[in-house]
Amino acid sequence: MNMRSEITAAEPVEAVPEPIMSERRVSLIGGLLVAIGPISLALFTPAMPEIVQAFGTTEAAVKMTLSLYFGGFAFAQLVCGPLSDGFGRRPITLAFMAIYLAASVLALLAPNIETLVVARFLQGVGAAVGVSVSRAVVRDVFTHERSARIMNMIGILLALGPAIAPTLGGLTMEFFGWHAIFIVMVLLGIVVMLVTVFALRETVTRDLSRIRPRALVTSYGSLFHSPYFILCCLVIAGTTGAIYTQATVLAFILMERVGLTPTQFGIGMLMQTASFMAGAIATRRLMRHHGAARLVPVGLVFVAIGSILLAVLLRMHEPTFLLVMGPVGVYAFGIAMVTPAMMTAGLAPFPKNAGAASAMMGFFQMGAGLVGGTASAMIGDPVTALATVIPIMGLIAILSWLIWRRLPEPLPVVRSN
Protein backbone atom coordinates (compact mmCIF):
# COMPACT_ATOMS: atom_id res chain seq x y z
CA MET A 1 0.00 0.00 0.00
CA ASN A 2 1.49 3.36 -0.99
CA MET A 3 0.93 6.86 0.36
CA ARG A 4 -1.85 7.60 -2.12
CA SER A 5 -3.89 4.71 -0.71
CA GLU A 6 -2.53 5.01 2.82
CA ILE A 7 -4.20 8.34 3.51
CA THR A 8 -7.50 6.96 2.23
CA ALA A 9 -7.58 4.03 4.60
CA ALA A 10 -8.14 3.74 8.31
CA GLU A 11 -5.11 4.32 10.44
CA PRO A 12 -3.11 1.30 11.64
CA VAL A 13 -4.40 -0.34 14.79
CA GLU A 14 -1.71 0.30 17.36
CA ALA A 15 -1.22 1.79 20.78
CA VAL A 16 -1.20 5.50 20.08
CA PRO A 17 -0.64 7.93 22.96
CA GLU A 18 -3.26 10.60 23.50
CA PRO A 19 -2.24 13.70 21.50
CA ILE A 20 -1.23 16.76 23.49
CA MET A 21 -3.87 18.80 21.64
CA SER A 22 -7.21 17.76 20.17
CA GLU A 23 -7.97 17.79 16.45
CA ARG A 24 -10.33 20.73 16.97
CA ARG A 25 -7.75 22.75 18.91
CA VAL A 26 -5.01 22.11 16.36
CA SER A 27 -7.43 22.98 13.55
CA LEU A 28 -8.47 26.28 15.11
CA ILE A 29 -4.95 27.38 16.00
CA GLY A 30 -3.58 26.18 12.68
CA GLY A 31 -6.32 27.97 10.79
CA LEU A 32 -5.54 31.25 12.56
CA LEU A 33 -1.79 30.92 11.96
CA VAL A 34 -2.20 30.03 8.29
CA ALA A 35 -4.76 32.76 7.68
CA ILE A 36 -2.68 35.72 8.83
CA GLY A 37 -0.68 35.79 5.60
CA PRO A 38 -3.66 35.71 3.18
CA ILE A 39 -5.67 38.07 5.41
CA SER A 40 -2.83 40.60 5.37
CA LEU A 41 -2.79 40.28 1.60
CA ALA A 42 -6.57 40.48 1.13
CA LEU A 43 -7.01 43.43 3.50
CA PHE A 44 -4.51 45.42 1.47
CA THR A 45 -5.69 44.76 -2.10
CA PRO A 46 -8.78 47.06 -2.08
CA ALA A 47 -6.51 49.97 -1.14
CA MET A 48 -4.00 49.50 -3.97
CA PRO A 49 -5.59 51.90 -6.50
CA GLU A 50 -6.09 54.51 -3.76
CA ILE A 51 -2.46 54.23 -2.62
CA VAL A 52 -1.34 54.96 -6.19
CA GLN A 53 -3.10 58.32 -5.86
CA ALA A 54 -2.17 58.95 -2.21
CA PHE A 55 1.57 58.69 -2.81
CA GLY A 56 1.49 60.07 -6.37
CA THR A 57 3.18 56.93 -7.60
CA THR A 58 2.56 54.26 -10.26
CA GLU A 59 0.68 50.97 -10.36
CA ALA A 60 3.98 49.18 -10.86
CA ALA A 61 5.37 50.68 -7.64
CA VAL A 62 2.29 49.68 -5.65
CA LYS A 63 2.42 46.18 -7.12
CA MET A 64 5.95 46.00 -5.72
CA THR A 65 4.40 46.04 -2.25
CA LEU A 66 2.76 42.74 -3.17
CA SER A 67 5.77 41.25 -4.93
CA LEU A 68 8.06 41.93 -1.99
CA TYR A 69 5.41 40.73 0.44
CA PHE A 70 5.43 37.43 -1.46
CA GLY A 71 9.22 37.44 -1.52
CA GLY A 72 9.55 38.02 2.22
CA PHE A 73 6.87 35.43 2.91
CA ALA A 74 8.45 32.81 0.66
CA PHE A 75 12.09 33.11 1.69
CA ALA A 76 11.46 33.66 5.42
CA GLN A 77 9.78 30.27 5.61
CA LEU A 78 13.11 28.65 4.75
CA VAL A 79 14.43 30.20 7.96
CA CYS A 80 11.54 30.02 10.42
CA GLY A 81 10.69 26.38 9.57
CA PRO A 82 14.07 24.90 10.56
CA LEU A 83 14.35 27.33 13.49
CA SER A 84 11.08 25.95 14.84
CA ASP A 85 12.52 22.43 14.56
CA GLY A 86 15.42 23.51 16.78
CA PHE A 87 14.04 26.11 19.19
CA GLY A 88 10.43 24.96 19.28
CA ARG A 89 7.22 26.03 17.57
CA ARG A 90 6.04 28.56 20.18
CA PRO A 91 9.13 30.79 20.61
CA ILE A 92 9.73 31.07 16.86
CA THR A 93 6.08 31.90 16.27
CA LEU A 94 6.28 34.70 18.84
CA ALA A 95 9.55 36.04 17.43
CA PHE A 96 8.31 36.26 13.85
CA MET A 97 4.93 37.64 14.86
CA ALA A 98 6.81 40.42 16.67
CA ILE A 99 8.42 41.25 13.31
CA TYR A 100 4.96 41.27 11.71
CA LEU A 101 3.60 43.57 14.41
CA ALA A 102 6.48 46.05 14.10
CA ALA A 103 6.14 46.03 10.29
CA SER A 104 2.41 46.76 10.55
CA VAL A 105 3.15 49.81 12.68
CA LEU A 106 5.78 50.93 10.14
CA ALA A 107 3.25 50.56 7.30
CA LEU A 108 0.70 52.57 9.28
CA LEU A 109 3.17 55.45 9.65
CA ALA A 110 4.75 55.15 6.18
CA PRO A 111 5.37 58.64 4.70
CA ASN A 112 6.11 57.39 1.17
CA ILE A 113 5.81 54.38 -1.11
CA GLU A 114 9.41 53.30 -0.46
CA THR A 115 8.76 52.94 3.27
CA LEU A 116 5.54 51.08 2.57
CA VAL A 117 7.36 48.64 0.28
CA VAL A 118 9.89 47.90 3.05
CA ALA A 119 7.11 47.50 5.61
CA ARG A 120 5.19 45.08 3.40
CA PHE A 121 8.34 43.02 2.86
CA LEU A 122 8.84 42.77 6.63
CA GLN A 123 5.17 41.89 7.09
CA GLY A 124 5.69 39.00 4.71
CA VAL A 125 8.73 37.87 6.69
CA GLY A 126 6.76 37.87 9.93
CA ALA A 127 3.59 36.27 8.54
CA ALA A 128 5.61 33.42 7.02
CA VAL A 129 5.81 31.68 10.37
CA GLY A 130 2.09 30.94 10.32
CA VAL A 131 2.18 28.59 7.34
CA SER A 132 5.33 26.67 8.25
CA VAL A 133 4.58 26.27 11.96
CA SER A 134 0.91 25.37 11.58
CA ARG A 135 1.58 22.52 9.14
CA ALA A 136 4.53 21.34 11.22
CA VAL A 137 2.35 21.24 14.35
CA VAL A 138 -0.20 19.12 12.49
CA ARG A 139 2.58 16.73 11.42
CA ASP A 140 3.99 16.66 14.97
CA VAL A 141 0.69 15.55 16.47
CA PHE A 142 -1.26 13.70 13.75
CA THR A 143 -0.66 11.59 10.64
CA HIS A 144 -2.56 9.92 7.79
CA GLU A 145 -6.32 10.50 7.55
CA ARG A 146 -6.47 12.50 10.79
CA SER A 147 -3.87 14.86 9.37
CA ALA A 148 -5.87 15.18 6.14
CA ARG A 149 -9.00 16.02 8.14
CA ILE A 150 -7.17 18.77 10.01
CA MET A 151 -5.63 20.13 6.80
CA ASN A 152 -9.13 20.24 5.36
CA MET A 153 -10.53 22.05 8.42
CA ILE A 154 -7.63 24.51 8.31
CA GLY A 155 -8.56 25.11 4.68
CA ILE A 156 -12.15 25.90 5.69
CA LEU A 157 -10.97 28.30 8.39
CA LEU A 158 -8.44 29.75 5.97
CA ALA A 159 -11.30 30.53 3.60
CA LEU A 160 -13.15 32.48 6.28
CA GLY A 161 -10.32 34.97 6.80
CA PRO A 162 -9.81 36.02 3.16
CA ALA A 163 -13.61 35.94 2.74
CA ILE A 164 -14.05 38.65 5.33
CA ALA A 165 -10.78 40.52 4.72
CA PRO A 166 -11.49 42.16 1.32
CA THR A 167 -14.91 43.31 2.52
CA LEU A 168 -13.45 44.55 5.80
CA GLY A 169 -10.60 46.21 3.92
CA GLY A 170 -12.96 47.90 1.46
CA LEU A 171 -15.30 49.17 4.18
CA THR A 172 -12.42 50.27 6.39
CA MET A 173 -10.84 52.20 3.55
CA GLU A 174 -14.07 53.92 2.49
CA PHE A 175 -15.01 55.05 6.00
CA PHE A 176 -11.63 55.56 7.69
CA GLY A 177 -9.02 55.76 4.91
CA TRP A 178 -6.39 53.27 3.81
CA HIS A 179 -4.18 53.87 6.87
CA ALA A 180 -6.82 52.21 9.06
CA ILE A 181 -6.26 48.92 7.23
CA PHE A 182 -2.90 48.63 8.97
CA ILE A 183 -4.51 49.28 12.36
CA VAL A 184 -6.56 46.15 11.70
CA MET A 185 -3.33 44.27 10.95
CA VAL A 186 -1.77 45.47 14.21
CA LEU A 187 -4.76 44.12 16.13
CA LEU A 188 -4.56 40.84 14.21
CA GLY A 189 -0.89 40.43 15.11
CA ILE A 190 -1.67 40.96 18.80
CA VAL A 191 -4.44 38.32 18.66
CA VAL A 192 -2.12 35.74 17.10
CA MET A 193 0.56 36.35 19.74
CA LEU A 194 -1.98 35.95 22.56
CA VAL A 195 -3.26 32.69 21.08
CA THR A 196 0.31 31.41 20.77
CA VAL A 197 1.04 32.20 24.42
CA PHE A 198 -2.16 30.86 25.95
CA ALA A 199 -3.44 28.13 23.58
CA LEU A 200 -0.59 26.60 21.56
CA ARG A 201 1.20 23.71 23.27
CA GLU A 202 4.81 23.00 22.38
CA THR A 203 4.97 19.94 20.09
CA VAL A 204 8.71 19.38 19.66
CA THR A 205 11.62 19.00 22.02
CA ARG A 206 14.18 21.81 21.85
CA ASP A 207 17.17 20.45 19.91
CA LEU A 208 19.64 23.02 18.62
CA SER A 209 21.58 20.36 16.72
CA ARG A 210 18.81 20.53 14.11
CA ILE A 211 19.74 24.09 13.15
CA ARG A 212 23.48 23.59 12.77
CA PRO A 213 24.61 24.44 9.22
CA ARG A 214 25.41 20.83 8.37
CA ALA A 215 22.07 19.65 9.74
CA LEU A 216 20.21 22.31 7.74
CA VAL A 217 22.01 21.37 4.54
CA THR A 218 21.23 17.71 5.17
CA SER A 219 17.62 18.48 5.96
CA TYR A 220 16.96 20.56 2.88
CA GLY A 221 19.09 18.21 0.79
CA SER A 222 16.85 15.28 1.71
CA LEU A 223 13.83 17.32 0.61
CA PHE A 224 15.33 18.42 -2.70
CA HIS A 225 16.44 14.86 -3.46
CA SER A 226 12.91 13.53 -3.03
CA PRO A 227 10.97 13.74 -6.33
CA TYR A 228 7.93 12.59 -4.37
CA PHE A 229 8.12 15.68 -2.13
CA ILE A 230 9.05 18.15 -4.89
CA LEU A 231 6.16 17.07 -7.09
CA CYS A 232 3.76 17.40 -4.15
CA CYS A 233 5.05 20.96 -3.75
CA LEU A 234 4.56 21.70 -7.45
CA VAL A 235 0.95 20.51 -7.31
CA ILE A 236 0.34 22.82 -4.35
CA ALA A 237 2.25 25.67 -6.02
CA GLY A 238 0.19 25.45 -9.18
CA THR A 239 -3.09 25.43 -7.28
CA THR A 240 -2.89 27.53 -4.11
CA GLY A 241 -0.12 29.66 -5.61
CA ALA A 242 -2.63 30.79 -8.23
CA ILE A 243 -4.72 32.47 -5.53
CA TYR A 244 -1.80 34.70 -4.60
CA THR A 245 -1.06 35.46 -8.26
CA GLN A 246 -4.68 36.49 -8.80
CA ALA A 247 -4.41 38.92 -5.90
CA THR A 248 -1.91 40.99 -7.89
CA VAL A 249 -4.32 41.58 -10.79
CA LEU A 250 -7.95 41.14 -9.68
CA ALA A 251 -8.18 44.52 -7.93
CA PHE A 252 -7.08 46.35 -11.07
CA ILE A 253 -9.37 44.29 -13.33
CA LEU A 254 -12.50 44.52 -11.21
CA MET A 255 -12.08 48.10 -9.98
CA GLU A 256 -10.54 49.82 -13.00
CA ARG A 257 -11.81 47.76 -15.94
CA VAL A 258 -15.13 46.48 -14.60
CA GLY A 259 -15.77 49.59 -12.48
CA LEU A 260 -16.41 48.21 -9.00
CA THR A 261 -15.97 50.38 -5.91
CA PRO A 262 -13.64 49.16 -3.15
CA THR A 263 -16.62 47.89 -1.14
CA GLN A 264 -18.13 46.17 -4.19
CA PHE A 265 -14.74 44.60 -4.90
CA GLY A 266 -14.51 43.30 -1.36
CA ILE A 267 -17.98 41.81 -1.52
CA GLY A 268 -17.34 40.43 -5.01
CA MET A 269 -14.27 38.55 -3.79
CA LEU A 270 -16.60 36.52 -1.60
CA MET A 271 -17.38 34.54 -4.75
CA GLN A 272 -13.86 33.14 -4.86
CA THR A 273 -13.78 32.36 -1.17
CA ALA A 274 -17.30 30.90 -1.13
CA SER A 275 -16.27 28.58 -3.96
CA PHE A 276 -13.18 27.50 -2.04
CA MET A 277 -15.22 26.92 1.10
CA ALA A 278 -17.82 24.94 -0.83
CA GLY A 279 -15.03 22.75 -2.19
CA ALA A 280 -13.55 22.30 1.30
CA ILE A 281 -16.92 21.32 2.79
CA ALA A 282 -17.62 18.92 -0.07
CA THR A 283 -14.15 17.43 0.41
CA ARG A 284 -14.72 16.95 4.14
CA ARG A 285 -17.93 15.00 3.48
CA LEU A 286 -16.53 12.95 0.62
CA MET A 287 -13.39 12.02 2.59
CA ARG A 288 -15.53 9.92 4.95
CA HIS A 289 -16.33 7.50 2.15
CA HIS A 290 -13.63 7.90 -0.48
CA GLY A 291 -10.51 9.17 1.31
CA ALA A 292 -8.65 12.38 0.59
CA ALA A 293 -6.30 11.09 -2.10
CA ARG A 294 -9.08 9.94 -4.43
CA LEU A 295 -10.45 13.48 -4.51
CA VAL A 296 -7.27 15.01 -5.93
CA PRO A 297 -7.95 14.15 -9.60
CA VAL A 298 -11.53 15.42 -9.21
CA GLY A 299 -10.21 18.71 -7.90
CA LEU A 300 -7.72 18.95 -10.76
CA VAL A 301 -10.59 18.57 -13.23
CA PHE A 302 -12.14 21.71 -11.75
CA VAL A 303 -8.75 23.44 -11.94
CA ALA A 304 -8.54 22.49 -15.63
CA ILE A 305 -12.05 23.77 -16.35
CA GLY A 306 -11.35 27.08 -14.59
CA SER A 307 -8.06 27.44 -16.49
CA ILE A 308 -9.68 26.82 -19.87
CA LEU A 309 -12.51 29.26 -19.17
CA LEU A 310 -10.06 32.01 -18.19
CA ALA A 311 -7.83 31.40 -21.19
CA VAL A 312 -10.71 31.42 -23.68
CA LEU A 313 -13.41 33.77 -22.36
CA LEU A 314 -11.16 36.68 -21.39
CA ARG A 315 -9.63 36.63 -24.87
CA MET A 316 -13.00 36.63 -26.60
CA HIS A 317 -14.92 39.19 -24.52
CA GLU A 318 -14.42 42.34 -22.50
CA PRO A 319 -14.13 41.46 -18.80
CA THR A 320 -17.26 41.48 -16.68
CA PHE A 321 -17.62 40.44 -13.08
CA LEU A 322 -19.01 37.00 -13.93
CA LEU A 323 -16.60 36.37 -16.81
CA VAL A 324 -13.72 36.94 -14.38
CA MET A 325 -14.99 35.54 -11.09
CA GLY A 326 -16.92 32.57 -12.51
CA PRO A 327 -13.78 30.76 -13.76
CA VAL A 328 -11.83 31.95 -10.70
CA GLY A 329 -14.50 30.34 -8.49
CA VAL A 330 -14.35 27.05 -10.39
CA TYR A 331 -10.55 27.01 -10.00
CA ALA A 332 -10.87 27.76 -6.27
CA PHE A 333 -13.37 24.91 -5.80
CA GLY A 334 -10.81 22.51 -7.24
CA ILE A 335 -7.99 23.83 -5.07
CA ALA A 336 -9.91 22.89 -1.92
CA MET A 337 -10.16 19.27 -3.08
CA VAL A 338 -6.47 18.99 -3.93
CA THR A 339 -4.60 20.46 -0.97
CA PRO A 340 -5.47 18.24 2.05
CA ALA A 341 -4.18 15.02 0.50
CA MET A 342 -1.15 16.57 -1.20
CA MET A 343 0.00 18.42 1.94
CA THR A 344 -0.41 15.30 4.06
CA ALA A 345 1.41 13.13 1.51
CA GLY A 346 4.27 15.60 1.15
CA LEU A 347 4.92 15.97 4.88
CA ALA A 348 4.40 12.33 5.89
CA PRO A 349 7.93 11.04 5.08
CA PHE A 350 9.63 13.76 7.16
CA PRO A 351 8.58 13.61 10.83
CA LYS A 352 11.97 14.64 12.23
CA ASN A 353 12.24 17.79 10.15
CA ALA A 354 8.58 18.63 9.68
CA GLY A 355 9.32 22.33 10.13
CA ALA A 356 11.80 22.35 7.25
CA ALA A 357 9.46 20.28 5.06
CA SER A 358 6.52 22.55 5.82
CA ALA A 359 8.69 25.60 5.17
CA MET A 360 9.84 24.26 1.80
CA MET A 361 6.26 23.47 0.84
CA GLY A 362 5.22 27.00 1.79
CA PHE A 363 8.20 28.40 -0.13
CA PHE A 364 6.96 26.70 -3.28
CA GLN A 365 3.44 27.94 -2.63
CA MET A 366 4.33 31.58 -2.01
CA GLY A 367 7.18 31.46 -4.50
CA ALA A 368 4.62 30.52 -7.13
CA GLY A 369 2.64 33.61 -6.15
CA LEU A 370 5.80 35.72 -6.46
CA VAL A 371 6.72 34.29 -9.86
CA GLY A 372 3.13 34.49 -11.09
CA GLY A 373 2.72 38.05 -9.85
CA THR A 374 6.02 39.12 -11.43
CA ALA A 375 5.04 37.48 -14.73
CA SER A 376 1.67 39.25 -14.59
CA ALA A 377 3.38 42.60 -14.02
CA MET A 378 5.71 41.96 -16.96
CA ILE A 379 2.75 41.20 -19.22
CA GLY A 380 1.32 44.57 -18.28
CA ASP A 381 -2.35 44.21 -19.14
CA PRO A 382 -3.98 42.54 -16.07
CA VAL A 383 -6.70 40.83 -18.14
CA THR A 384 -4.17 39.22 -20.46
CA ALA A 385 -2.06 38.28 -17.45
CA LEU A 386 -4.99 36.55 -15.73
CA ALA A 387 -5.89 34.69 -18.93
CA THR A 388 -2.30 33.50 -19.41
CA VAL A 389 -0.52 32.99 -16.11
CA ILE A 390 -3.28 31.19 -14.17
CA PRO A 391 -3.91 28.54 -16.89
CA ILE A 392 -0.17 27.86 -17.05
CA MET A 393 -0.09 27.33 -13.27
CA GLY A 394 -3.04 24.96 -13.52
CA LEU A 395 -1.25 22.98 -16.24
CA ILE A 396 1.87 22.71 -14.07
CA ALA A 397 -0.21 21.34 -11.17
CA ILE A 398 -1.93 18.74 -13.35
CA LEU A 399 1.26 17.53 -15.04
CA SER A 400 3.07 17.33 -11.67
CA TRP A 401 0.31 15.17 -10.21
CA LEU A 402 0.30 12.84 -13.23
CA ILE A 403 4.03 12.23 -12.72
CA TRP A 404 3.80 12.05 -8.91
CA ARG A 405 1.15 9.35 -8.88
CA ARG A 406 3.51 6.99 -10.75
CA LEU A 407 6.38 7.35 -8.27
CA PRO A 408 7.20 4.60 -5.75
CA GLU A 409 6.13 5.16 -2.19
CA PRO A 410 8.97 6.46 0.09
CA LEU A 411 9.88 4.15 2.96
CA PRO A 412 7.98 5.07 6.13
CA VAL A 413 9.97 7.01 8.71
CA VAL A 414 9.30 6.43 12.40
CA ARG A 415 9.83 9.29 14.84
CA SER A 416 12.47 8.66 17.42
CA ASN A 417 11.48 11.42 19.79
pLDDT digits (tens, 9 = 90+) for 331-340: 999 998 998 8
100 pLDDT higher than 80: yes
Q: Supply the pLDDT for residue 352.
A: 74
pLDDT at position 398 over 70: yes
pLDDT at 417 over 50: no
Tell me yes or no: is domain 21-404 CATH 1.20.1250.20.
Answer: yes
Q: Give the pLDDT band (50/70/90) at residue 159.
A: low
Residues 6+ apart with CB under 8 A from 317: 323
Please give the Cα distance from 355 to 205 (Å, whole number): 13
Say whether pLDDT at 143 is over 60. Answer: yes
Decide: 7 and 148 in contact? Cβ < 8 Å.
yes
User: Is there a contact between 154 and 27 (Cβ–Cβ < 8 Å)?
Assistant: yes
The pTM assigned to this predicted structure is 0.73
Per-residue confidence at 306, pLDDT binned at 50, 70, 90?
very high
- Separation between Cα atoms, residue 279 and residue 287, nearest integer Å: 12
Question: Would you say the C-alpha torsion 215, 414, 356, 196 has a positive or negative sign?
Answer: negative
In sequence order, the 6+-apart residues with CB closer than 8 A to the CB of 18 are none
Q: Tell me the per-residue pLDDT of 253-278, one tens digit each, with 9 for 90 and over.
A: 888 888 888 778 877 888 888 898 88
Spatial separation of the C-alpha atoms in residues 283 and 338, rounded to whole Å? 9
Show the DSSP H helices in 109-261 as ranges: 113-141, 144-176, 179-198, 213-224, 227-247, 250-252
Q: Is the pLDDT of residue 400 over 60?
A: yes
The domain segmentation of the chain, as residue ranges, is 21-404
CA distance linking residue 356 with residue 245, whole number of Å:
24
